[in-house]
């Protein structure tokens, strides 16, 4: 498969596939395609479907296959930001924010990832339930806003506000910690908790989480009686 990612701030990934080659995507993600791309909707097993539902994706996925020759299919971002390609291999799994999966080759498996630590489970918010991408192949994720990558050495840490973590390699440890000081908690405007990421591994930070945008706009939306 060849692909190109074009367009800002609403990018699209255009994939060029060979005859018989398939791509998996969530429903509603396909934007345009050549007429020989055949679609088939599958759940991929009850356990997998339930896992996708918990991780913010649809229970069913669409599989597009090039029939009778090479094909082309495009997947567009649903929010201003970035489409990032990730090369998934055994032992190089990616943990991503829920609802970030856009499309992938059929060798990539999508499952739910729960934070194991109690603090992360109770207070992690958007970081509590994430997606795990495993298997082998290229996957495309939607990143909200601008994307910044950090490569953390063993023991090196990065403190991130909840919701700004887009993705990380599975070797990175995630922990939720409270903000120090009562005055900081009440009047700092940054919430009560931060996410602490500890290397080794890579993390991808997004500059404009959808949740932050929704919160900023809520005060301008009139509410009915």
- Residues 57-77 pLDDT 10s: 456 789 999 999 999 999 999
Please, is 187 exposed, middle or buried when counting C-beta atoms within 10 Å of its C-beta (0-12, 13-18, 19+)? exposed
2-218: CATH topology is: Double-stranded beta-helix (3.60.160)
Within its chain, how far is the Cα of 99 from the centroid? 6
Contact 197/162 with Cβ under 8 angstroms? Answer: no
Look over the chain and give the mean of its residue pLDDT values, rounded to a whole number: 82
Q: pLDDT digit string (tens) for 163-210?
A: 899 999 999 999 877 766 444 444 444 556 788 999 999 999 999 876
Query: Quick one: average pLDDT of 136-150?
Result: 95
Assess whether pLDDT exceeds 80 at residue 43. Answer: no
Confidence (pLDDT) at 52? 47
Tell me how far apart the alpha carbons of residues 160 and 124 are, in angstroms, rounded to a whole number. Answer: 11
Q: What is the pTM of this model?
A: 0.81
């Amino acid at each position: 498969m060849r692909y190109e990612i074009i367009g800002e701030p609403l990018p699209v990934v255009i994939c060029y596939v060979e005859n018989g080659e398939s791509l998996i995507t969530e429903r509603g993600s396909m934007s345009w395609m050549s007429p020989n791309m055949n679609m088939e909707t599958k759940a991929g097993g009850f356990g997998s479907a339930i896992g996708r539902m918990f991780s913010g994706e649809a229970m069913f996925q669409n599989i597009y296959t090039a029939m009778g020759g090479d094909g082309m299919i495009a997947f567009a971002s649903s929010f201003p930001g970035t489409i990032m390609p990730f090369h998934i291999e055994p032992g190089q799994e990616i943990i991503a924010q829920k609802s970030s999966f856009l499309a992938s080759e059929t060798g990539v498996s999508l499952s739910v990832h729960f934070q194991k630590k109690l603090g992360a489970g109770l207070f992690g918010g958007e970081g509590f339930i994430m997606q795990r991408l495993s298997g082998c192949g290229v996957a495309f994720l939607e990143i909200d806003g601008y994307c910044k990558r950090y490569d953390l050495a063993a023991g090196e840490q990065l403190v991130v506000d909840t919701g700004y973590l887009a993705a990380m390699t599975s070797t990175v440890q995630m922990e939720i910690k409270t903000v120090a000081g009562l005055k900081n908690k009440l009047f700092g405007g940054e919430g009560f908790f931060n996410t602490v990421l500890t290397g080794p591994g890579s993390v991808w930070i997004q500059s404009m989480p959808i949740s932050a945008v929704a919160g900023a706009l809520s005060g301008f939306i009139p509410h009915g009686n």
